[in-house]
Amino acid sequence: MNSPFSLQGKTIFITGASSGIGKETAIAMSRAGATVVITGRNPERLEETFNFLVGDNHIMLATDLTSAEDLLVLVDQLPELDGIVHSAGITGHLPVKFIGEEDISTFFRINYEVPVLLTGRVLKKKKLKNKASVVFLSSIATRYPYFGGALYGSAKAAIEAYSRVLALEMAPKGIRSNCVSPSFVQTPMVEQAGQTISTEVLDKFEKMMPLGFGEPLDVANAIIYLLSDASKWVTGSTMTLGGG
């Protein structure tokens, strides 16, 4: 008998698959039996992920999701889906007194608008099957403020609110929506952040986490649970992955 944690027979679309959490999740999903549709901005790195996927029939579509036109083309190319993982995102540090209009647009575009528009478009085009599962990448930054994290934390808080409404509106079709909310995970995003946060501050963060920093696979495994039938009664939730 198939394990309820298996993704066998499911087709899952994932953004941000060219790096970090998205890359690891795409590979782990293929190992769990899913057919995976991957997207990312950088074609070379996306191809690298593609080459790690286990099994056949996976699809690779390189796109800059902040281009409204490219986003429409992408959705038209998608097959019918059993799940979506919205992992594409950006971070950065900007003290509140320096926040300008353009900064708000930049942070909210990929972290909030893109997952919202993509989900809506997929629904309109009837590409999300009944009982499908949608997973958003939020962040612990919504609840634990840090200097310079206003825009990142706000955009992630907004996507959590959106996810809860999506869960409510889609419940009649059995479509579920959940967020995972990781703390520090060792990915290129955090390495990049390390260029603007001092080693002392990063060490302080790590000491605050009894289980230390996470690995991309820790997040991937939680996402697989939320995509699988094992979580069929879980919706509108946010799972904290904080290392304690």
Binding site for ligand NAP (CB under 6 A): 16, 18-22, 40-42, 45, 64-66, 87-91, 110, 137, 139, 182, 184-185, 187-190
A 10 A CB-CB count for 191 gives 10
Nearer to ligand NAP, 3 or 196 (CB): 196
Q: Which is nearer to ligand NAP, 7 or 21 (CB)?
A: 21
CB of 204 vs ligand NAP, minimal distance in Å: 15
Residue placing its CB nearer to ligand NAP in the complex, 92 or 129: 92
Of 157, 50, 29, 135, the C-alpha closest to 88 is 135
Please state the separation of Cα 227 from the chain's center in Å.
12
Q: How far is the CB of 116 from ligand NAP (least distance, A)?
A: 14
Residue whose C-alpha is closest to residue 241's, from 208, 214, 205, 217: 214
Using alpha carbons, list the distances in angstroms from residue 119 to 14, 56, 76, 78, 149. Answer: 12, 25, 13, 12, 26
The phi and psi torsions of 223 (rounded to 5 degrees) equal -65, -40
Choice between 22 and 33, CB closer to ligand NAP? 22
Question: Least distance (Å) from ligand NAP to the CB of residue 83?
Answer: 16
Query: Could you tell me the smallest distance in angstroms from the CB atom of residue 95 to ligand NAP?
Result: 19
